[in-house]
Amino acid sequence: MTTQTLDCKGLKCPHPVLQVRLTATRLKAGDLIEVVADCSTFEKDLRDYCAQAKRTLLWIRQEGTAQRAQVKL
């Protein structure tokens, strides 16, 4: 199992989730993506992506002005 970390701070919608989607194409089932973003719509966008792509959003938490989330492929 691999964990890929993405720093998407400073990127605006929809770029953080597009980075997650692109990274997911290079990883295998069971791998993890941990992403940090400060986009105001990040949580909603990531939840929508996970539902649509059948990915598992393990957790999302606030870290200062950003949010950190972990997605299982």
Q: Locate 32 and state its tokens.
A: 């993890």
Q: Which residue has the tokens 């989730």?
A: 17
Which residue out of 8, 13, 39, 50 is catalytically annotated? 13
Is residue 8 annotated as part of the catalytic site, yes or no?
no
Locate all alpha helices (DSSP H) within the chain, ordered by sequence. 15-24, 42-53
**CA–CA separation, 11 and 16 (whole Å):** 6
Residues known to be catalytic:
13
